[in-house]
Amino acid sequence: MAATRSFPLDALRALAAQLIVLHHLSVYGPIAEAMHGLSPAISGWFYDYGRMAVQIFLVLGGYLSARALSSHEPGLHRSAPALLAQRYGRLAPPFLVAVGLTLAASWLVAPLLPALAPEQVTLTQLLAHVLLLHDVLGQEALTVGAWYVAIDFQLFALLLALMWGLRRLGLSQTWRQGLAPVLVGALVTASLLYFNRHSAQDAYAPYFFGAYGLGALLFWWQGWPTRLRWLSLGLLVSLLLLALALQFRERLLVTAATGAVLMLWRQGPGPAWWVDRVQGLARHAYALFLVHFPVILLVNAVYAHHAESPAPMPDALAPAALLLAWGLANLAAVPFHRWVEAPLLRWRPAVIRAGTAAPGR
C-alpha cells in the first residue's frame, strides 16, 4: 500500500524534473537556437510551457512538507529552529556545490558562449546564494533554478511558522488540526487572488503559496470525513475558478491538474520494473534539477565549437545534440546524488526528514 500511495508522488516528481531539463534545453545556447529553426512548434512548446512543471514541484512540496510537519506537530514548539536549520541543510549544500559546478562550466565555455557566462562574480553575490537570498537582494542568479531553491526554503519556513505559532498558543490538538487548514486556506486565497497576480512579488513565498498551500491542504484533506472533503473540494474549485476569472494564468491549470492527480490516483503502481525506474528518476530529481545546467553548457560549447569549425556541424544534428545533453544530464544526476546529495543528507541532524518536491525524498 505504501508503494501505491507514494507512486503518484514519484511519477509527478520525475516527470516535472525531466520537463524542466527540456525547457532549459529549449532556452539556452546554439542547440536551442537550431532546434527552434528545425522544429519551432515542439521547441516553442517546451520554451513556453515546460517551465510550468515547477507548479508540480510546488504542489508536491506543500504536500510532503505538511505530511512531515504534521507527523511531528506535537513537538514543533521546541524543534522549529532545528527543523528550519535542517531544511536549509537539505537544500543549500547540494545547491552550492551545483553553483560551483556551473561556475566552473561557465569559465570553460566563456570563449565560445560568452552570453551564457556571468561577466563577474562578486562576494556579495556568493553570500546571497549561501543565504538563499539572491532574488530578495537583487543579485543575479549564478545558475538556473536558483530561485526555486530559495523559494522552497521560504515556503517551508512560512508553513513551519504557521504551525509553530498554533502550537505556541497552547490550543488543544483538535483546535490546532482544525485551524491549520483554515489559515493555510486563507494564505492560499490571498496568494491566488492577489500576490500571484503581481510578478513583482515573485521573490517572496506568498507569490507561490497558492500551489504550495494547495499541496498541504490536499494532504490534510485525505483524512477528513467524506462530507467535509466534498465541501472543501467545492471551495477549492470555486477559488481556482475565481482566480482564473480575475486573471487567466495557465500555471494555475497545471496546479489544479497536479492536485487532481494526487486526489484521484487509485490505480496500483504497475509492474515492478516500471516502479523501480520511476522511483529512480524521482530519487535523483533534485540532483538532476541542480546539475543539468553545467551539462547543458558543456554540450552547447562542443556544439558551438563544431558549428564554427572549417567543416561546420549542420543544424540537422541539433536534435542528436539535444538528446545527448538530456541523457548526459540524467547520467550526471546519479553520481551527484550518490556522492554529493546523499552524503550531505546523512550528515545533517536527524530531527525530521521534511519532504521536498524537487528532491527525491
Write down the domain spans for the chain.
Answer: 2-347
Q: What integer pLDDT is reported at residue 60 of this predicted model?
A: 98
Select from 328, 327, 322 the least CA-distant residue to 303: 322
Q: What integer pLDDT is reported at residue 156 of this predicted model?
A: 98
Identify whether the C-beta of residue 349 lies closer than 8 Å to the C-beta of residue 85.
Answer: yes
CA 307 to chain centre: 34
Long-range contacts of 337-341 (CB under 8 A, 24+ apart): 337/283, 337/284, 337/286, 337/287, 340/94, 340/97, 340/287, 341/94, 341/286, 341/287, 341/290
Q: What integer pLDDT is reported at residue 351 of this predicted model?
A: 44
CA atoms within 13 A on the CB side of 95: 28
> Alpha-carbon distance 195 to 199, whole Å?
8
The values of phi and psi at residue 265, to 5°, are -65, 115
| 33, 57, 103, 339 from 21: Cα distances, Å | 16, 14, 18, 21
Q: SS3 string of 146-192?
A: HHHHHHHHHHHHHHHHHHHHHHHCCCCHHHHHHHHHHHHHHHHHHHH
The values of phi and psi at residue 278, to 5°, are -65, -45
The values of phi and psi at residue 329, to 5°, are -60, -45
Q: What integer pLDDT is reported at residue 267 of this predicted model?
A: 65
CA atoms within 13 A on the CB side of 193: 11
* Mean pLDDT per 10-residue segment, the chain (361 residues): 70 97 98 95 96 98 96 82 93 98 97 93 97 97 97 98 91 91 98 97 98 98 94 97 98 97 79 88 98 98 81 79 98 98 76 44 40
CA 255 to chain centre: 13
> Alpha-carbon distance 142 to 134, whole Å?
9
DSSP assignment letter at 308: T
> Alpha-carbon distance 168 to 271, whole Å?
46
> Alpha-carbon distance 333 to 31, whole Å?
21
User: Under DSSP, is residue 135 helix (H, G, I), strand (E, B) or coil?
Assistant: coil
Q: What integer pLDDT is reported at residue 356 of this predicted model?
A: 43
Residue 182 grid coordinates = 483554515
**H-only helix segments in the chain:** 2-25, 29-38, 40-49, 54-71, 76-109, 123-130, 146-168, 173-193, 205-221, 226-246, 250-264, 272-283, 285-307, 318-336, 342-347
> Alpha-carbon distance 259 to 264, whole Å?
9
User: Under DSSP, is residue 223 helix (H, G, I), strand (E, B) or coil?
Assistant: coil
Q: What integer pLDDT is reported at residue 186 of this predicted model?
A: 98
Identify whether the C-beta of residue 96 lies closer than 8 Å to the C-beta of residue 127.
Answer: no
Residue 197 grid coordinates = 497576480
Identify whether the C-beta of residue 65 lies closer than 8 Å to the C-beta of residue 216.
Answer: yes
> Alpha-carbon distance 234 to 221, whole Å?
12
Q: What integer pLDDT is reported at residue 98 of this predicted model?
A: 98
> Alpha-carbon distance 21 to 14, whole Å?
11
Q: What integer pLDDT is reported at residue 5 of this predicted model?
A: 55
